[in-house]
Amino acid sequence: MSILVDQNTKLVVQGISGREGEFHTRQMIEYGTKVVAGTRPGMGGEKVLDVPVFDTVAQAVEATGANASVIYVPGRVAADAILEAADAGVELVVCISENIPVLDMIRVVRKLGEGKTKLIGPNCPGLISPGKSKVGIIPGNICKPGPIGIISRSGTLTYEVVYALTEQGIGQSSCIGIGGDPVHGLGFIECLELFERDAETRAVVLIGEIGGTDEEKAAEFIRTQMTKPVVAFVAGQTAPPGKRMGHAGAIIEGGAGTAAEKIAAFQRAGVQVARYPGEAAGLVEQALKTRKK
């Protein structure tokens, strides 16, 4: 099983003709993702990598039945691209674009709350269900089908943990990079809910970082709602207060959002916390063995 994307996902690539859009479209097609359409205003009727291009997402959905979108457009127009996909009835939108103004994302999240479209991102690596479909930029060659779900605020740390799991012979059901911006789509709790309901996901790895309170809220959800074991890693344990580290949401202000607070919250919830990303694989293996007993 998997969550959000699988072999039935039909993908439209917004910004397919740009350098990043075309490069990653090729990677997704080679992985086996069903890329059924692309969009670029003014290019309707043309093809990129043998994928038909449309002027609008609505035209692409009508012609191909696309039910998911991935966005590779500049940050200044990405918010409008998200809303265009939602207005066309796309069920899942994955926004890779970064540098989207916070006020734009507030407008987007408020609008999406009125409908059924789910958003992953922005400023994220996307997601992959190994062996079925990948939407975004996660390298498919390090992934392996299996029972572990992964949710992460960091793209590169996602890759590191996935690689460690695969090297240890532990596969993944779905890997989701939710992004590190302060205003975003699906978060830890929504993804945890999906993994909890997924019959073949047996454990979850949650990769957090400093800034905000998302990890603390996730820890409380795990304590009260999750029946499956969860392993965590929190990045930024040596970050100085008041200095942004990497993502726009990764900043400690007034003593709130520290790695120590997040680790303590997870530990109170019975979540094992890895000291470094690679250690998460060993903790997952222990959790799986314990659950069998």
In angstroms, the CA 148 to CA 180 distance is: 22
Structure-token pair, residue 165: 């799991």
3-state helix, strand, coil in the chain (%, to 5): 35, 25, 40
Instruction: Write the CB contacts of 128 (distance below 8 Å, at least 6 apart in sequence).
Output: 5, 31, 134, 135, 136, 138, 140, 143, 172, 174, 175
Distance set, CA 118 to CA 67, 87, 125, 287 (Å): 11, 12, 16, 30
Distance CA 247, CA 153 (A): 9
Name 118's bridge partners.
92
Cα–Cα distance, 205 to 198 (Å, whole number): 15
Which positions are annotated as active-site residues? Answer: 247
